[in-house]
Amino acid sequence: MKKHNIIHVILTGGVGSRLWPLSRKSRPKQYLEIFEGKSLFELTVERNSAIADKVIVVGNTDNCHLSRAILEKKNVPYLDIVESTPRNTAAAIAFAALAADPDDILIVTPMDHIIEKKELYDEAVNEAIQKALKGHIVTFGIVPTKPETGYGYIESKGENVLSFREKPNLETAKNFIAKKNFLWNSGMFCFKAGVLLDELKHFQPKVYKKAKKVWEHNQDGKLDLDLSLEIPSISVDYAVMERSKKIKVIHSQFLWSDLGSFESVYDYLLSKGHPVDENGNMVIGVQNFTAFIGMKNTILVATENANLVLQKEYSQDVKDLYNELETQNSELLN
């Protein structure tokens, strides 16, 4: 396969509500330069630059300028698809596939992952490309290291997918781990553009038809709002992955975290030498002397106009606070 037929598709939707107040609508988590001076978006581009020589970014009007600035700084050839309204991942991926040639191999990744052991990542991607060339739609399962409740799971038998599972409670997650054939669902995919579109057309003809119409009316990658609102909002998991007979899963051994919560950010920063006190308390975002008395595993997140204090194990609850601020139409989200 010629290298130029491999396209890296980056989905940049989402505001990172569980990382408020660091993550704001004007600068979502994927653009925060808190990972050794780089952002998650920049790390995602770098990680795949040797595999693909073209990038398609599917983003929105709020973040497209942030993506462009990084891609232009790194001198990466790219196509920018700007959604006027979010229509979930089935439509986002369909736009990228429609922008490519049917035989192009697309490697689809979110932009909020930290991945280490890159040699194992490269192995997994190359294996996925080989399967995609044979007409399979490949998903990347991560061999789990603990019973994680923040991720979806893939039940597998070898390379075959038995089922996709939603984020479980702790007891269910422990059962998954004990069975040894469950993988974390990374949300990464690899396929021929035409194969994915054929499956979408078969299982979700309305999504396919409406997305195609929107793409045909794009203006330099910008998508029409009124036409976009006609697209059913559905994830690619529900639309295709859970229904297609062409799905294969790769058991990936690289180290992976989706950095979707302050607990995962805490663990990552700790692994990079970020200071904590003797009780595991951490400060993010400010250099001021901070003392924690009578607290353990507490995170202080400081920004210019909002601070957050939380115990690490309650990280998933930040989303509830974000939603509450959203109902108040708070300027603290901007």
Q: Output the domain CATH number for residue 134.
A: 3.90.550.10
Residue spans of beta strands (DSSP E) within 1-136: 6-11, 54-60, 78-83, 105-110, 114-116
Calpha distance 52→50 (Å, rounded): 6
**Same structural domain, 284 and 312:** yes
Q: Chain centroid to CA 202: how far?
A: 26
**Same structural domain, 252 and 275:** no
**Same structural domain, 112 and 61:** yes
What's residue 15's pLDDT? 67
Which domain range does residue 130 map to? 3-257
pTM summary value: 0.85
Q: What is residue 48's three-state secondary structure?
A: helix
**Same structural domain, 281 and 197:** no
**Same structural domain, 233 and 267:** no
Give the residue from 201, 228, 257 where a domain finishes: 257
Calpha distance 219→233 (Å, rounded): 22
**Same structural domain, 106 and 202:** yes
**Same structural domain, 171 and 283:** no
Q: What is residue 81's three-state secondary structure?
A: strand
Q: Number of structural domains, the chain?
A: 2
Torsion angle in degrees (nearest 10) through CA of 46, 52, 53, 54: -90
Calpha distance 332→334 (Å, rounded): 6
Give the residue from 200, 224, 257 where a domain finishes: 257
**Same structural domain, 75 and 46:** yes
List phi, psi (to 5°) of 55: -120, 135
pLDDT in tens, the chain (334 residues): 444 589 999 998 766 788 899 888 878 888 888 777 788 889 999 888 888 878 999 988 888 888 998 888 888 889 989 998 889 999 999 999 999 999 999 999 888 778 888 899 999 999 999 999 999 999 999 888 888 888 899 999 999 999 899 889 999 999 999 998 999 998 899 999 999 999 999 999 999 999 999 999 999 999 999 999 999 999 998 999 999 999 999 998 888 877 778 988 898 889 888 999 999 999 998 888 999 999 999 999 999 899 999 999 898 889 899 999 999 999 998 8
What's residue 35's pLDDT? 76
DSSP per-residue string spanning 237-268: IIIIITT-S-EEEEEE-SEEE---SHHHHHHH
**Same structural domain, 199 and 294:** no
**Same structural domain, 170 and 306:** no
Cα angle for residues 66, 208, 228 (degrees, 5° grid): 50
Give the residue from 241, 257, 273 where a domain finishes: 257
**Same structural domain, 197 and 299:** no
- Helix (H) and strand (E) counts in the chain: 11, 14
**Same structural domain, 173 and 292:** no
Whether the bond between 232 and the residue before it is cis, its omega within 30 degrees of 0, is no
